[in-house]
Each structure stands twice: as C-alpha cells, then as structure tokens.
Structure 1
C-alpha cells in the first residue's frame, strides 16, 4: 500500500465532500482507539473545522487516558481542531431506570452496550446540527463489511466513512504514518461498550489479522471444508458473524407494493 498516496486521497475526498455539502467540517467521537485516532487526524489534515468529542459512559481508565492524549496531540498539531467532553454516564443511568432490565443477563448486557453507542450517535448529531458539521464514521472494512462488528444506528450511524475501504492492518499503517500516539498503536482494539477492558478479540474469538485472512478467503471463493484446525475455527467464526450481521451491511429492505394494488 502506498500509504502517503492513500492519506492524500482520503484527505482530498473528505475536503471535497464537505465543500460540496456546504458544511463547516467534521465531528468525531474519540474513543482512545486506532480507528477514531486515524479518522480524526485525516479530517484534521483537511484544514476544515474538526470537533473531537469524548463521550465516556463508565469508561475504562485506559480508554479515557488514550483519548485525552490523542486529542491533546491533535490540537497541538492542527489549529482547526477543537474538543469537548460530554459525560453520558448520568444519561445512561437514567435511561436504565426507565426501561425493563428483565431477561437473560447476557441479552440485557448486549442491549445496554448498544444503547451506549446510540447515545453517543445522538450526541454527535446534536453537535453536528449546532455547528454545521458532518459526522465522520470510524469503521474499517473488516468491521463494517466483514463481521459487522458495530452497532446499527450507533457507531454505524454516520454521514460518511473515510476508512471503510481499509483493512485494520492498513489502518495501523496509516496510523504510524500519521504519528498516532504509541499508546493507541499498541493498545488491544476494544469497542469500549461494556465499561471494562475486554478486547474485540475477546468478544469475537479471533484477532483482526485472522479475520482479514478469513475475509480474503471468503472473497476468493473458499468454504469451511477447505480448512482444518485453527483456520477452520477462524473461518467458521467469520462466516457466523458475516451471516448473522448481513442486516447491517445491506440497504434497509423496503416492502414494495405492486402497482395494481395502488
């Protein structure tokens, strides 16, 4: 990958899109992870306004410290970057008092995790509306189109996706080129939706390099019967997520009414 050319292409794409949309710039949720760090830096390089928002909800201390470190570094490098912190913990706790928490604990925990992501999406769009900004998505290719590892209408609710055609490994290469802080480059990827330090690999059962391999194998026409051992296990994990999360990856289905019914 020609990293410099890719960065230049994304920055120009962002700038042209924002100019044509007649907006002032971008708003991005900063999590302390590689994807939001790379996306916010790419947006900052456009020279347009960039609003970075921290939105903790019972966040792990390591996530908070990495997010702050990245924002401070970004503000020193780019005068067009601003930041605010919106503590959504009280909002989340109040929400929990108004809904039923009955059911299997794992199901409740997942529903609440997705609620965190949707509260953050609402916050991003609130500030985007106030300041005439676009919500920049931070999903990469293997998350968005491989395993669907994001929340529908949460972190999946965005105006544009600058890095969605890049594999996770490619995002890291760009992060290195853009001088993303080492603490973020070395941290285990985590969605941070459970208030602890569990990683994406802990949840999925496979690492991103393994998932990228599986995605390439699927695209080349391979099936589970082509593999044994760990490769078979990883491919099965990938295919399970890919199949179960198709509803995130395809357009919203529309019930088309036959013309003779109208």
Structure 2
C-alpha cells in the first residue's frame, strides 16, 4: 500500500465531502484504539474543526489512559483539534433502572453492550448538531463488511466512513505513518463495550490477520471443505459472523407496495 498517497487521498476526500456538505468539520469518538486514533488524525489533517469526544461508561483504565494520551498528542500537533468528555456512566446506570434485566445473562449483557454504543452515537450527534460537524465513523473493512463487528445504530451510526475500505493491517500501517502513540499501536483491539479489557479476538475467536485471510478466501469463492485445522476453524468463524450480521451490512429492507395496490 502506498501509505502517504492513501493518507492524502482520504484527507482530500474528507475535505471535499465537508465542503460539499457545507459543514465546519468532524466529530470523532475517541476510544483509545487504533481505528479512532487514525480516523481522528486524518480528520485533523484536513485543517477543518475536529472535536474529539471521550465517552466513558465504566471504561477500563487502560482504555481511558490511551484515549487521553492520544487526544493530548493530537491537540499538540493540530491547532484545529478540540476535546470534550461526556461521562455516560450515570446515564447508562439510570437507563438500567428503567428497563427489564430479566433473561439469560449473556443476552442481557450483549443488549447492554449495544446500548452503550447507542448512547455514544447519540452523544456524538448531539455535539455534531450543535457545532455543524459530521460524525466520522471509525470502522475498518473487516469490521464493517466482513464480520459486522459493530453495533447497528451505535458505532455503525455515522455520516461518513474514512477508513472503511482499509483492512485492519492497513489501518496499522497508516497509524505508524501518522505517528499514533505506541501505547495504542501495541494494544490489543477492543470494542470497550463490556467495562473490562476483553479484546476483539476474545469475543470473535480469531485475530484480525486471520479474519483478513478468511475474508479474502471467502471472496475468492473458497468453502470450508478447502481447509483443515486452524484455517478451517477460522474460515467457519468468519462466515458465521458474516452470515449472522448481514442485516447490518445490507440496506434496510423496504416492503415495496405493488402499483396495482395504489
């Protein structure tokens, strides 16, 4: 990948989109992970206003410290960057008092994890509306179009997606070029939706390099019968997530009314 040219292409794309939309810049949720770090730097390089928002909800201390380190570095490098923090923990806890928490614990935990992401989406759009900004998505290609590893109308609810055509390995390559803090570059990817340090690999059962491999093999038309051992296991994991999460990756189905019924 021609890293410098890719960076310039994305930055120019962001500037053109913002200009045509007649907005002042971008708002980015900062998680302490590589995707939000790279996205926020790309947005900052446009020279337009960039608001970085931290939105902790019982967040692991390591996630908070990495997010704060990144924002501090970003503000030192780019005068167009500002920050704010919205502690959503009290909002989340109040929400829990108003809904039923009955059911299988794993199902309840997942529903609450997705609620965290949707509270953050609401917060991003609140600030975007106040300041005339666009919400910049932080999803990469494997997450957005491979395994669907994001929350519908949560971190999937954005105005534009600068890095959604980049594999995770390519995001890391950009991160190295863009001088993302070392603490973020070496950290295990995590969605941070459960209040602990569990990684994406812990949840999915496969690493991003493995998922990239499986995504390519699936696009090439391979089936699980073509593989053995760990490769077969990863291929099955990838296709399970791809199948179950199609509803996120496809347009919302619309019931079209036949003309003869109008």
- What TM-score do the two structures reach when normalised by structure 1? 1.00
Question: How far 1:101 sits from its partner (Å)?
Answer: 0.2
Question: How far 1:150 sits from its partner (Å)?
Answer: 0.1
1:82 partner SS: strand
Question: Counterpart in 2 of 1:88?
Answer: 88
Matched, 1:120 2:120: yes
> Aligned equivalents of 1:219 and 1:111: distance in 2?
31
Question: Counterpart in 2 of 1:226?
Answer: 226
> Aligned equivalents of 2:90 and 2:241: distance in 1?
32
**Residues 144-183 of structure 1 correspond to what in structure 2 (within 5 A)?**
144-183=144-183
> Aligned equivalents of 2:46 and 2:159: distance in 1?
17
Tell me which stretches of 4 or more aligned residues in structure 1 moved more than 3 Å: none
2:122 partner SS: helix
Question: How far 1:144 sits from its partner (Å)?
Answer: 0.3
- What TM-score do the two structures reach when normalised by structure 2? 1.00
Task: Kindly report the root-mean-square deviation, in angstroms, between the aligned alpha carbons of the 2 structures.
Answer: 0.2
> Aligned equivalents of 1:6 and 1:131: distance in 2?
28
Question: Counterpart in 2 of 1:27?
Answer: 27
1:84 partner SS: strand
Question: How far 1:153 sits from its partner (Å)?
Answer: 0.1
2:107 partner SS: helix
> Aligned equivalents of 1:257 and 1:40: distance in 2?
43
Question: Counterpart in 1 of 2:253?
Answer: 253
CA deviations on 1:121-176 (whole Å, 9 max, x unpaired) are: 00000000000000000000000000000000000000000000000000000000
> Aligned equivalents of 1:47 and 1:134: distance in 2?
14
CA deviations on 1:16-73 (whole Å, 9 max, x unpaired) are: 0000000000000000000000000000000000000000000000000000000000
Question: Counterpart in 2 of 1:140?
Answer: 140
> Aligned equivalents of 2:187 and 2:28: distance in 1?
20
CA deviations on 1:171-212 (whole Å, 9 max, x unpaired) are: 000000000000000000000000000000000000000000
CA deviations on 1:83-131 (whole Å, 9 max, x unpaired) are: 0000000000000000000000000000000000000000000000000
> Aligned equivalents of 1:180 and 1:35: distance in 2?
10
Question: How far 1:250 sits from its partner (Å)?
Answer: 0.4
Question: Counterpart in 1 of 2:66?
Answer: 66
Structure 2 unaligned segments of length 5 or more: list them. Answer: none
**Residues 162-241 of structure 1 correspond to what in structure 2 (within 5 A)?**
162-241=162-241
1:74 partner SS: helix
